């Protein structure tokens, strides 16, 4: 009852204001005092400044979750335009929808739709939209995170900072394409909006645009996804591999994953698991991704949540299934040990390594938080990982 009241005004406003005041005058002083001695910090290796930033972000995300005030919720029916913005409409590809994807869509009433896409260039480079690929060039296909309920593909969104960093450090990248996939939503009393597999429809359409409209060879595409974006990237590649007997494009040349959400079920939510032990260490609170949370409810829609225990498209790292990764491209997998997802990512690593061998590069950052490589304050670890990625890309 209290939780639902926080979704409505004026209670939402009162709650946000009270939390801001409590944090400023009570929590922050306590966090400072309790962290003056490094051994008392959640991660003793962290500086006082980093400790306070992580705690502040985590608590802020907790407030956002309680009020459903998710930032930067995109409107897929509108395309951002203006100076420096390279955008276009990406048409749906219903002819590429086959098998189980069609079955799941019939259960959740999901359907393909026209969505925006955004091009972003390397600094100092101006590539016309749709220009054919140049010799030696690789194209970055970026799928953003946000638990499938927030953030945006536009170049103005904070998650685009990681895209800009990858363009800057990786020589073969002259441009990146980001798809504005539809976000899931589940307002109280209303049916879920854009549930699974809506986002998969959209990232498939974006990939078809790159390969079939622009004409970029699949082997010259590097798909990069963080968190939920990593989940979507894994699902997209699996779909491309499993449906090559249809007219779908070939899989990409490489896959770049940052803290990918790999288990939408609960097989990694057990006592002593990182989903519990890393609470307070990570920027991401359990309330966003754990248990029967809003993001899962919105994403599943009418789909039985137990499907996530055995469905490799939902949970490729679930302990209740053992999916194959044969046919996956070479992959760079990045995660931090303070990430809530570290246990499920380690499971994912073992499974991918079994099929990819040396084709998998695994980078684990000590005390790294969720998608640390996208955070300005996580230096020098961020730059170290970006340099490793640049070397890996070539």
pLDDT in tens, 164-215: 999 999 999 999 999 999 999 988 778 899 999 999 999 999 999 999 999 9
Long-range own/partner contacts, residues 93-96 (CB < 8 A, 24 or more apart): 93/204, 93/205, 93/208, 95/247, 96/204, 96/208, 96/243, 96/246, 96/247, 96/248
* Same domain (yes/no): 143, 228: yes
pLDDT score recorded for residue 292: 84
Which residues are CB-contacts of 96 (< 8 A; sequence separation ≥ 6)? 204, 208, 243, 246, 247, 248
Domain that holds residue 30: 2-67
At residue 121, φ and ψ (nearest 5 deg) are -100, 155
* Same domain (yes/no): 99, 191: yes
- Looking at residues 122-134, what average pLDDT do you find? 95
* Same domain (yes/no): 40, 121: no
**Distance from C-alpha of 199 to C-alpha of 180, rounded to nearest angstrom:** 9
The band of 337, judged by pLDDT with boundaries at 50, 70 and 90, is: very high
Domain containing residue 120: CATH number: 3.40.50.1820
* Same domain (yes/no): 266, 317: yes
pLDDT score recorded for residue 1: 41
- Looking at residues 337-341, what average pLDDT do you find? 99
The residue that leads in pLDDT, 340 or 1, is: 340
**Distance from C-alpha of 210 to C-alpha of 91, rounded to nearest angstrom:** 12
Quickly count: other Cβ atoms within 10 Å of residue 79's Cβ: 18
Token look-up 């097989």 returns 267
- Looking at residues 4-8, what average pLDDT do you find? 66
Give strand pairing partners of 268: none
* Same domain (yes/no): 284, 226: yes
Indicate if the pLDDT at residue 113 is higher than 50: yes
Number of domains in the chain: 2
- Helices 228-242 & 198-208 angle (0-180, nearest 10): 70
* Same domain (yes/no): 149, 38: no
Within a domain: 72: no
* Same domain (yes/no): 52, 173: no
Q: Which two tokens stand for residue 390?
A: 């640049």
Contact 119, 90 (CB under 8 A): no
pLDDT score recorded for residue 72: 62
Within a domain: 213: yes
* Same domain (yes/no): 240, 353: yes
Indicate if the pLDDT at residue 71 is higher than 80: no
The residue that leads in pLDDT, 255 or 17, is: 255
Contact 337, 304 (CB under 8 A): no
pLDDT score recorded for residue 15: 80
Within a domain: 76: no
Within a domain: 338: yes
Within a domain: 75: no
Within a domain: 361: yes
Last residue of a domain, one of 67, 101, 122: 67
- Looking at residues 32-57, what average pLDDT do you find? 95
Within a domain: 78: no
**Distance from C-alpha of 315 to C-alpha of 234, rounded to nearest angstrom:** 10
Q: Which two tokens stand for residue 54?
A: 């992580």
* Same domain (yes/no): 328, 281: yes
Calculate the CA 26 to chain-centre distance.
33
The band of 254, judged by pLDDT with boundaries at 50, 70 and 90, is: very high
pLDDT score recorded for residue 2: 45
Quickly count: other Cβ atoms within 10 Å of residue 289's Cβ: 22
Within a domain: 74: no
* Same domain (yes/no): 62, 119: no
- Looking at residues 127-150, what average pLDDT do you find? 96
Mean pLDDT of the chain: 94
pLDDT score recorded for residue 67: 82
Last residue of a domain, one of 67, 101, 116: 67
pTM: 0.95
Contact 281, 170 (CB under 8 A): no
* Same domain (yes/no): 237, 156: yes
* Same domain (yes/no): 15, 94: no
pLDDT score recorded for residue 4: 63
> For 283-294, how does the pLDDT look when each residue is reduced to its tens digit (9 = 90+)?
999 999 998 899
């Amino acid at each position: 009852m209290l939780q639902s009241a926080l979704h409505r005004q004026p209670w939402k406003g009162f709650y946000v204001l009270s939390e801001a005041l409590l944090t400023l005058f009570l929590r922050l002083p306590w966090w400072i005092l309790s962290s003056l001695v490094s051994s008392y910090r959640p991660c003793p290796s962290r500086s006082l400044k980093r400790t306070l930033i992580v705690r502040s972000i985590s608590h802020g995300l907790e407030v956002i979750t309680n009020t459903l005030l998710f930032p930067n919720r995109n409107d897929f029916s509108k395309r951002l335009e203006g100076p420096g913005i390279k955008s276009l409409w990406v048409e749906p590809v219903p002819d590429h929808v086959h098998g189980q994807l069609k079955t799941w869509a019939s259960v959740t009433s999901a359907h393909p739709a026209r969505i925006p896409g955004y091009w972003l260039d390397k600094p100092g480079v101006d590539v016309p939209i749709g220009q054919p690929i140049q010799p030696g060039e690789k194209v970055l296909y970026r799928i953003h995170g946000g638990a499938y309920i927030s953030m945006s593909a536009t170049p103005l969104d904070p998650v685009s900072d990681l895209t800009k960093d990858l363009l800057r450090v990786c020589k073969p990248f002259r441009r990146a394409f980001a798809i504005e996939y539809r976000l899931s939503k589940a307002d109280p009393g209303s049916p879920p909006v854009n549930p699974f597999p809506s986002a998969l429809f959209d990232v498939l359409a974006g990939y078809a645009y790159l390969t079939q409209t622009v004409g970029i060879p699949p082997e010259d595409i590097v798909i990069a996804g963080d968190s939920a974006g990593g989940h979507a990237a894994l699902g997209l590649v699996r779909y491309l591999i499993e449906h090559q007997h249809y007219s779908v494009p070939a899989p990409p040349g490489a896959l770049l994953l940052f803290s990918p959400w790999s288990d939408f079920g609960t097989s990694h939510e057990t006592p002593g698991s990182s989903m519990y032990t890393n609470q307070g260490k990570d920027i991401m609170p359990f309330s966003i991704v754990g248990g029967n949370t809003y993001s899962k409810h919105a994403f599943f829609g009418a789909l039985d949540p137990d499907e996530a225990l055995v469905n490799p498209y939902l949970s490729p790292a679930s302990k209740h299934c053992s999916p194959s990764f044969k046919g996956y491209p070479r992959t760079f997998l990045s995660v931090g040990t303070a990430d809530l997802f570290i246990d499920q990512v380690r499971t994912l690593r073992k499974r991918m390594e079994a099929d990819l061998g040396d084709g998998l590069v695994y980078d684990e950052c000590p005390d790294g938080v969720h998608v640390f490589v996208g955070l300005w304050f996580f230096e020098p670890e961020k730059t170290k990982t970006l340099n490793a990625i640049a070397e890996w890309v070539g």
